[in-house]
Amino acid sequence: MQNKEKKQTSQKYIENGKELASLPLNVLQKHLRTSAKGLSQNEAHRRLSTYGYNEFSNKKVNPLLKFLSYFWGPIPWMIEIATVLSGVLHHWPEFSTIFVLLLANATIGYLEEHSASKAIDALKAQLAIKAKVLRDGKWITRAARELVPGDIVRIRLGDIVPADIKLLDGDSIECDESALTGESLPVTRSAGASVYSGSIIRQGEIDAVVYATGHNTYFGKTAELVINTKSVSHFQRSVLQIGRYLILLALALVVIIIGVSVARDESLLSTLQFVLILTIAAIPVAMPTVLSVTMAVGARLLAKKGAIVSRLVAIEELAGVDVLCSDKTGTLTKNELTLGDPFTRHGVASDDVVLYASLASRKEDNDTIDLAVLRALKDERVLNNYKVEKFQPFDPVRKRTEVVVKNIHDHSEFKSAKGAPQVILSLCANAESITASVNKAVDAFAERGFRSLGVAKTDSHGQWQFLGILPLFDPPRDDARATIESARSMGVSIKMVTGDSLAIAKEMAKNLGLGSSIVDAANLDKNKATNEEVAEIEEADGFAQVFPEHKYRIISLLQKRGHYVGMTGDGVNDAPALKKANCGIAVSQATDAAREAASITLTSPGLSVIIDAIKESRKIVERMNSYAIYRIAETLRVLVFVTLAILVFKRVRY
């Protein structure tokens, strides 16, 4: 009996996310019947069947009402009037023909929109948010929709929080809740605090327990994360506006014909029916359906090429791009970092630099730099001699990863860090004596196209000591140079965007065949840019030392020059730039926040995917344009022919 009451109490709390948010962490874990080890797969499946998927189901529209909606509107009304008039005059063959036309148009429109909707839903499913969850004591990656109350998840920089969670022990994190609360500044959340579904992690990494999912979350249905794909593009609006003008023109001609027929004392009813039938036949009834179907089919074609559209109008946006600002890493390069021979401080062995950098790396995060450092270890078993007590992940502000490590054998503790050389150097007590040699080494590596990674550790007195520099090289993609030439032939200017130093950016641009005009992004911090500076940006082949906020500035200046700008991005801080761009493109392996902000999401790496997608989108828009021109010309032909025939031959014969 006591167990039954306990179960009912737990059920009540699980269904009431607001009450759960106020519970202390230990009480919450007790009510959710979970621990820091997470749930088992069997228990997770059981809870999934009890609480449902962690998603917000869209409001279902009655299929019959949806079908009937195709009989409502100016164009259907005119066809329906013609049907009624044919019946009144007992012209049953014409009545049957018009009725079948009306029914066929509604049926085709309904079926095609339903098919397009299913296709887009399938494509959007490929963009579903993933979550790192602890099941059976192992960290695995699962779709966020499979999370259940009681799951233990790990959230880190760039993640969209997949459910309502309460933070476990660990360092504080910063969350962006602007999409939920309207507050633009990030907020700090510590262990025991609640973080709501839809928030974006701006800084830090921590484990948390899920306490509410789906409709039971704090924001419920209002926290919908999937972009609505039913937007109407500029092209569609233009064509539909032309259609409205054609209808007005047709109605004006109908008035003229009726007026002439009345003056000639002809049958008004017969005249009206005849004119309406021919006018309706000339009106572009199928134009909206044809455009929607064309773009839906195009979306499927783009998906096959590795570019998934989050909304159909993105096809038109992509087709119009004439300047593409492309990330270097993973798009222009292979994103396969390799380590060169390290620069070391006098008396420090190269293997030690690699070791202490490895201690500040984490394999399960799948970070490319961490994996490159770990691969450089001669024997990974040496890491077994150390235990990482505290791991502070890399973030764009601090520009370093820092760990607290304990030596298992002598139980001594020390700190290790890796990051931007100048940032690491600023920590160190021995910085003054080695700054000149470090700067010289960084410049030498940059001239060869290498990125530099500084490494340091604390000594027995707790003071940081600079150990050395690890040179990292990311070779250009094999097809990058040819793809850039192909883009230029299409009228698309490629501009490389990288956070690397000016020297590295120039060397990489040279290898890619981009050109030598590289702009230092530090010059973009000015509130106002002169015409000469804007022109320099327009003519630039790339930008170096770029921070995410610089991307927004680059886009703004290029758009002021009349360019239609595409921008690639992968991080949480890229989201504003991806929104600002005419066409934001989230590259493969982008964070959830970047994918949410982008119009296009790539499923495979490389610039060639983007260029192929631009080619295909231009074909799609050209098909739509060709149909629109044909339909408009045909409408004018029919209207003019009918009007002249009636006026010239002086009598309507029906």
620 plus 575 within the same structural domain: yes
Structure tokens at 329: 């890493």
Residues 470-517 pLDDT 10s = 998 888 888 889 999 999 999 999 999 988 878 888 888 988 889 889
Taking each helix axis from N to C end, the angle separating 607-649 and 268-282, rounded to the nearest 10 degrees, works out to: 160
469 plus 481 within the same structural domain: no
List the helix and strand counts (H, then E) for the chain: 23, 24
End position of a domain, from candidates 199, 223, 247: 223
Q: Judge whether 83 lies within some domain.
A: no
Helix or strand or coil: residue 291?
A: helix
Of 169-173, 378-382, 517-521, 586-590, the least confident: 586-590
In the prediction, which pLDDT does 573 show?
A: 64
In the prediction, which pLDDT does 627 show?
A: 83
In the prediction, which pLDDT does 386 show?
A: 94
Beta bridge partners of 466: 456
Q: For residue 279, what pLDDT band results from cuts at 50, 70 and 90?
A: low
Q: Are 420 and 397 in contact (CB under 8 A)?
A: no
Distance CA 621, CA 318 (A): 10
In the prediction, which pLDDT does 182 show?
A: 47
649 plus 537 within the same structural domain: yes
End position of a domain, from candidates 421, 438, 473: 473
167 plus 187 within the same structural domain: yes
How many domains, in total, are found in the chain?
3
In the prediction, which pLDDT does 154 show?
A: 92
Q: Do strands 542-544 and 565-569 pair parallel, antiparallel, or not at all (unpaired)? A: unpaired
Domain span including residue 28: 23-57+129-223
135 plus 270 within the same structural domain: no
Judged against a pLDDT cut of 80, whether residue 9 lies above it is answered with: no
For the chain, the 3-state helix, strand and coil shares in percent, each to the nearest 5, are 50, 20, 30
Residues 54-95 pLDDT 10s = 876 555 667 788 788 777 766 677 667 767 767 776 768 767
Q: Are 177 and 199 in contact (CB under 8 A)?
A: yes
In the prediction, which pLDDT does 253 show?
A: 79
Distance CA 446, CA 249 (A): 66
509 plus 606 within the same structural domain: yes
391 plus 439 within the same structural domain: yes
Of 223-237, 365-379, 404-418, the least confident: 223-237
Q: Judge whether 119 lies within some domain.
A: no
Q: Chain-wide mean pLDDT for the chain?
A: 80
Nearest residue to 285 (alpha-carbon basis) of 247, 252, 245, 316: 247
641 plus 526 within the same structural domain: yes
Distance CA 488, CA 584 (A): 20
Q: Judge whether 92 lies within some domain.
A: no
More reliable by pLDDT, 35 or 495: 495
Helix or strand or coil: residue 224?
A: coil
Q: What CATH number corresponds to the domain at position 287?
A: 3.40.50.1000
Residues 104-128 pLDDT 10s = 767 766 775 666 556 555 545 555 6
Q: Judge whether 82 lies within some domain.
A: no
Q: Are 357 and 373 in contact (CB under 8 A)?
A: yes
Kindly state the average pLDDT of the residues 391-408: 84
Residues 609-635 pLDDT 10s = 899 889 989 998 888 888 888 878 887
Helix or strand or coil: residue 178?
A: helix
362 plus 242 within the same structural domain: no
Q: What CATH number corresponds to the domain at position 177?
A: 2.70.150.10
381 plus 450 within the same structural domain: yes
End position of a domain, from candidates 442, 473, 504: 473
Q: What CATH number corresponds to the domain at position 422?
A: 3.40.1110.10
Judged against a pLDDT cut of 70, whether residue 270 lies above it is answered with: no
315 plus 384 within the same structural domain: no
Residues 419-450 pLDDT 10s = 989 999 999 998 888 999 999 999 899 888 88
324 plus 197 within the same structural domain: no
Burial 562-581 (b: 16+ CB within 10 A, else e): ebbbbbbbbbbbbbbbbebb
Nearest residue to 88 (alpha-carbon basis) of 263, 260, 272, 261: 272
In the prediction, which pLDDT does 210 show?
A: 92
327 has catalytic annotation? yes
Distance CA 151, CA 612 (A): 41
Q: Judge whether 302 lies within some domain.
A: yes
Residues 554-611 pLDDT 10s = 998 899 888 999 998 876 667 788 888 989 998 877 766 677 788 888 888 888 889 9
Q: Which residue in the list 151, 159, 207, 327 is annotated as catalytic?
A: 327
